[in-house]
Amino acid sequence: MSKAVVFDHYGPADVLHFIEIPLAVPQPGQVRIRVRSAGVQPFDALFRSGAAHRWVPATFPQRLGNEWAGTIDELAPDVTGFSIGEGVFGWAMLASYAEHVVVKATDFVAKPQQMPWSEAGALSASGQTALAAIHELDVKAGQTLLIHAAAGGVGSFASQIARARGARVIGTASERNHDYLRSLGVSPVAYGHDLTGQIRLVAPDGVDAALVLVDSMEAIQVSLELVGEKNRIGTVAFSSAAREHGIRQLGTARSIERLTELVELYQSGDLQIFLQQEIPIANAAEAHRLIEGGHTRGKIVLTVNHD
């Protein structure tokens, strides 16, 4: 048997609980992973609350989590090139808050030896979302990118990826996260009165693109005022304001190639993984309460102890 975090109905964080489930056997082309850590994303809490049911309906009892790190536990007979006990990390849609996860052999890469387990578990989904967004918005060297909610998980990754491409990044965040953003090479701007004016003071030459990571009418309106080309504004949030104004909804086409690029950025020192807190997986509800509280700095990760 194994254990996984599930919820039986939509509701607050307390609906999450740990249950025993049968230990799945890998089918052709699959690998079973002994999970060591699993990242927590804002989408996870949105999904659990029921706010995303129009796009992604739950099937109860519903599992959670889209990114994980762990060791290979069992291989299907047709899977080659991997070994039992090998450290890897990757993605698994709505399944990663668990002691074990079964994934395709094409949905993970080797974990760099120097990358801690907790960091590896927080990179795959959020990192690929950020990388895809920077690509879709065509951010280039010498350009200025505005990121709304820049201190969160996706924002932290997107800021560093854009900086690695030679772009300047302006990030909106609460003042307590401004020093953190400066450490990433980001010019911080506080939420509040005349946000457009504040950003123009920081970027007198204008803003080339904007990435909106929060469901906020203000963030959409400010981006529309500052960015000359509407198609260079995008969001990954389930945002009614974005739909109302025709803002691009950016998706994540996950792939080994994207994950490999993130590993290369990490190994070159251009990408760091910042963790706000590590929480035992049995206390997943606590992680959800933290992420719903807003103003997250970096990532929150669930840790799994198999002892």
Tens-digit pLDDT profile for residues 259-276: 999 999 999 999 999 999
What is the chain's length?
307
What confidence category does residue 307 fall into, taking pLDDT thresholds of 50, 70 and 90?
A: low
Q: What is the dihedral of CA 233, 236, 242, 246, to 10 degrees?
A: 60
Percent over 90 (pLDDT), the chain = 92
Q: What's the CATH number of domain 2-123+273-303, 3.40.50.300, 3.90.180.10, 3.50.50.60, 1.10.10.10?
A: 3.90.180.10
CATH topology of domain 128-249: Rossmann fold (3.40.50)
The per-residue pLDDT of the chain, averaged, comes to 96
Q: Per-residue pLDDT averaged across 12-16, rounded?
A: 98
Residue 212 has pLDDT above 80, yes or no: yes
Which tokens in the block code for residue 27? Answer: 């089918």
Identify which has the larger pLDDT, 251 or 46.
46
Q: Quick: pLDDT tens for 108-142.
A: 999 999 999 999 999 999 999 999 999 999 999 99
Residue spans per domain, the chain: 2-123+273-303, 128-249
Give the Cβ contact number of residue 260 at 10 Å.
12
Q: What is the mean pLDDT of residues 69-88?
A: 97
pLDDT of residue 191: 87
Do domains 2-123+273-303 and 128-249 share one topology? The answer is: no
Task: Find out whether 100 and 35 touch, Cβ atoms under 8 Å.
Answer: yes
